[in-house]
Amino acid sequence: MSKKPNVWISPRGDGWAVQREGSQRASVVTPTKAEAEKIGRGVAKEAGVELIVHKKDGTIGSKDSFGHDPNPPKDSEH
C-alpha cells in the first residue's frame, strides 16, 4: 500500500494555496491563510494525513497529524 500524500498550505503571490504533496497544481487558492487552513484541515482529516502549514516567508510554521501514529508526539500546539 502506498503512502497517502500530505496536505500543504503555502503562500502564493495571489493568496494561500492548499496543495497535496507531489501535486503540480493547488487544489484551492484562497485570499487568506485562515481560510486555506480551514479547507486544508478538512481535507487532511478526511484523508487521515498530515497538514503542513507554511509561514509567509515560506518556512514551516506548524504541522498537525490526522493519521494513525503508533508513537504520537507530545503536541503542545493543539
Mean pLDDT for 38-58 is: 94
Delimit the domains of the chain by residue range: 7-65
Mean pLDDT for 25-54 is: 95
Q: What does the H/E/C string look like for the chain?
A: CCCCCCEEEEEECCEEEEEECCCCCCCEEECCHHHHHHHHHHHHHHHCCEEEEECCCCCEEEEEECCCCCCCCCCCCC
Query: Does the pTM of the predicted model rise above 0.75?
Result: yes
In the predicted structure, residue 12 carries a pLDDT above the cut 60? yes
